[in-house]
Chains A and B, each alone.
Chain A
Amino acid sequence: MNPIDLTLAELSARLAAKDVSSAEVTAACLERIRATDALLGAFLFVDETGAMTHAQAADERRAAGRARGPLDGVPLALKDIFCTEGIPTTCGSKILDGFVPPYDSTHVRRLKDAGAVLLGKLNMDEFAMGSSNETSAFGPCRNPWDTSRTPGGSSGGSAAAVAARQCFATLGTDTGGSIRQPAAFSGVTGLKPTYGRCSRYGVIAFASSLDQVGPFGRTAEDCALVLQAIAGKDPMDSTSLDAPVPDWAAGMKGASVKGMRLGVPKEYFVEGLDPEVEKAVREAMRLLEELGATLVPVELPHTEYGISTYYVVAPAECSSNLARFDGVRYGMSKREEGALREMYFRTRAEGFGPEVKRRIMIGTYALSSGYYDAYYLRAQKVRTLIKRDFDEAFQMVDAIVTPTTPGVAFRLGERTEDPLQMYLADVFTLACNLAGLPGMSVPCGFSSNGLPIGLQILGKPLDEASLFRVGGAYQAATDWHTRAPRIG
């Protein structure tokens, strides 16, 4: 058996039993990347030498009886939004082409401390702004299930790499669905933790009140193993929460949904939902019921305002965060002619792509003099109403189940001309970020043309455990997550 077909948890057990070495597995991943990535475009940078060096070090530790835990020697990869010391970090943008960070993000450091082997950096929408990976300045990533389609975005490379068996898990970020939507489109499991569960230190900022780091894996258990290595208070991020990090993976062994109350919001089953997606999600819900959960109708009446709220708050925060790209300290700098002011205008005009400029423009408008109250302040108030909807629903249920996306992966190029249509497709994932909740997407079926469908599970703040419980029990009873795409 080719080791790349193992789950992370299975690999971890094989490594512990010394049935396979990290060097062998890492070499197999690198071989897989070489064989598939010219077609997929999941990686922006592959660190072959560094990966093999770290794999050998992991093997030596293990031989000496000093193995560090379940991730020691496991090949992983990172969305190119994480700062990696000495390794190029572009955030999918020309403005950061050639940038080599002087430090590691907290997650990179924690993964290294856990012994993980980092294979490289993954493709993404420019500055995580996009839902299809098509805004990447370095070309789109392709969906391993159908290479004429998007893997989703913005963490498209992170989802595609796991689906294509190029590595065992990846990290992504989720500001409005950027982990869950590509997980659904690419047929893998993805988790956005509670806001503050993971640090944001060393993650290039998009919308600071919404951004959150999370894992992609083949299974919910694999996501748990990665999350517990990176979660927890970080002195470098004052918004990271000082909450205990449970051993989620251990907690989900033999997980059962018996006695759980799962909310079903009617606002997520509306016109525009692909009938094949609805059928698969309804069947998943029926199965959860058979496994002992109770389905409870809940109401989230402000759902329809989620998109408007998000597309004020996120661009406003992005316009502020991206002010730092000015050509002074790092990245592109156009200073051939003119004074300082010209350098700002020319650097930003040439460095940013159209979608990033569009969002900066929306955000700058919404924050500009005379419009602040009507847009940003009002959106923040509506955000409170959206949050209250969830507070009320969670009085009655342990978790909420919905489709992750209204449709399956669309064709590359299909929506690039109409940004508003692209935004509207984020309808089921945005509210989770606005309310700061944890959310997971697990594979729950395929469309008639063979494209993956995702079930979204939303939980109470800091209750990732319930998501792992539902995801684990569902995956123990189904085999959607074990299917692999045939590439090429």
Chain B
Amino acid sequence: MALTKEQVEKVAVLARLSLSDDEIEQFRGQLSSILGYIEKLQALDVEGVPPTTHAVQVDSTPLRPDVERESLAPESALANAPARDGNLFLVPRIIE
């Protein structure tokens, strides 16, 4: 199964990765061979088999009592911010 250059570029955009032409060409070859190997899965009959989303079945998502408690202090949460304005994370302009 061989991916086209355009398919690789489309996936890179979905993944928010800017790739050089060399990287696109390299990934095209590598992804094609990996996906070719994965094709093995198509040979199995999985009719009526339920999917396993989690290895251990958890009956339901447990809910904790809705009570107020201490959480991360704003100063700690923002300590690694590349850019901040008061208690806000600052990002470059959004509207292009």
Contacts and interface: CB of A to CB of B under 8 A. Distances in A.
* Chains A and B come from one and the same complex: yes
Interface of A: 99-100, 102-103, 194-196, 209-210, 235, 238-239, 241, 302, 304-305, 307-309, 311-312, 319, 323, 326-333, 335, 338-346, 348-349, 352, 354, 357-358, 360-362, 364-365, 368, 374-375, 377-385, 387, 419-420, 423, 433-437, 461
A209 B30 contact: no
Contact of A361 (B12, B53, B72, B92): B12
A106 B94 CA distance: 36
Contact of A436 (B8, B56, B82): B56
Nearest to A302: B44
Contacts of A378: 41-42, 46
B61 interface: yes
B34 A419 contact: yes
B30 A419 contact: yes
Contact of A102 (B31, B35, B76): B76
Contacts of A435: 55
Contact of A342 (B19, B33, B92): B92
Given A102-B79, A195-B55, A341 B96 contact: yes
B87 interface: no
Interface in B52-79: 52-56, 58, 61-62, 64, 72, 76-77, 79
B14 to A, nearest CB: 5
Interface of B: 7-8, 11-12, 14-19, 23, 27, 30-31, 33-35, 37-42, 44, 46, 49-56, 58, 61-62, 64, 72, 76-77, 79-83, 89, 91-96
Nearest to B58: A239
B7 to A, nearest CB: 8
Contact of B37 (A210, A307, A343, A382): A307
Contacts of A436: 54-56
Contact of B44 (A319, A375, A382, A419): A382
Given A361-B11, A368-B14, A312 B38 contact: yes
Contacts, number: 173
B55 A387 contact: yes
Contacts of B55: 195-196, 209-210, 387, 433-437
A319 B11 CA distance: 11
A158 B46 CA distance: 39
A195 B53 CA distance: 13
B18 A330 contact: no
Contact of B41 (A99, A308, A328, A384): A308
A329 B80 contact: yes
A202 B77 CA distance: 14
A207 to B, nearest CB: 11
A358 B37 CA distance: 15
Nearest to B81: A329
B19 A349 contact: yes
Contacts of B94: 339-340
Dominant secondary structure at the B interface: loop
15 contacts: A195-B54, A196-B55, A196-B56, A238-B58, A239-B54, A239-B58, A305-B40, A329-B80, A344-B16, A345-B18, A348-B18, A378-B42, A380-B53, A420-B33, A435-B55
A103 B7 CA distance: 41
Given A340-B91, A385-B44, 16 more contacts: A102-B72, A102-B80, A209-B54, A238-B62, A311-B37, A323-B16, A339-B96, A348-B18, A349-B19, A357-B19, A361-B15, A365-B7, A365-B11, A419-B34, A433-B55, A436-B56
Contacts of A357: 17, 19, 23, 27
- Which of B16, B42, B82: most chain A CB closer than 10 A? B16
A251 to B, nearest CB: 22
B56 A239 contact: yes
Given A209-B54, A345-B18, A374 B42 contact: yes
A379 B56 contact: no
A384 B46 CA distance: 9
A102 B91 CA distance: 21
Nearest to B82: A333
Contact of B52 (A327, A330, A383): A383
Give me the 6 closest cross-chain CB pairs, A-B, nearest first: A436-B55, A380-B51, A333-B82, A330-B80, A102-B76, A381-B46
A360 B51 contact: no
A384 B15 contact: no
A461 B49 contact: no
A327 B95 CA distance: 18
Contact of B17 (A302, A330, A361, A368): A361
